[in-house]
Amino acid sequence: NAGVMQNPRHLVRRRGQEARLRCSPVKGHSHVYWYRQLPEEGLKFMVYLQKENIIDESGMPKERFSAEFPKEGPSILRIQQVVRGDSAAYFCASRGLDRVYGYTFGSGTRLTVV
């Protein structure tokens, strides 16, 4: 069991480009969460997905950000037309039925916008 796999680990994008962050959950986990960590801040919830469904996107910026978790393949967090303020570490976590102990975090993708 490889745990939660996120890639790439580091991503550099120029302003205006698109960033695609991938998250492969623990095998058998059907719940995925995305969190963003800005410098000097804790993790902030962005979105919660189950297979093919967005359950809670209350933490997602209204524009440029989208997320999906298709029936097959990894969950994708997509940021269009990136700006410098998007530079952060993006963490994915997955769980099975256990809402607390079952959480497993990935190692994160560090996005730098230049």
Partner 1 sequence: EDKVVQSPLSLVVHEGDTVTLNCSYEVTNFRSLLWYKQEKKAPTFLFMLTSSGIEKKSGRLSSILDKKELFSILNITATQTGDSAIYLCATTTYSGNTGKLIFGQGTTLQVKP
Q: Using CB under 8 A, pick the residue from 20, 51, 105, 112 that binds partner 1.
A: 105
With binding defined as CB under 8 A, does residue 4 bind partner 1?
A: yes
Closest CB to partner 1 among residues 12, 55:
55
- Give the chain's length: 114
DSSP letters for 79-106 = E-S--GGG-EEEEEEEESS-SSTT-EE-
Closest CB to partner 1 among residues 50, 80:
50
With binding defined as CB under 8 A, does residue 39 bind partner 1?
A: no
**Least distance to partner 1 from the beta carbon of 100, Å?**
6
SS3 sequence of 24-85? ECCCCCCEEEEEEECCCCCEEEEEEEECCEEEECCCCCCCCEEEECCCCCCEEEEECCCCHH
Residues 50-69 that bind partner 1 (CB under 8 A): 55-56, 59
Q: Where on the chain is the footprint of partner 1 (CB under 8 A)?
A: 3-4, 31, 33, 35, 40-45, 48, 55-56, 59, 91, 95, 99-101, 103-108
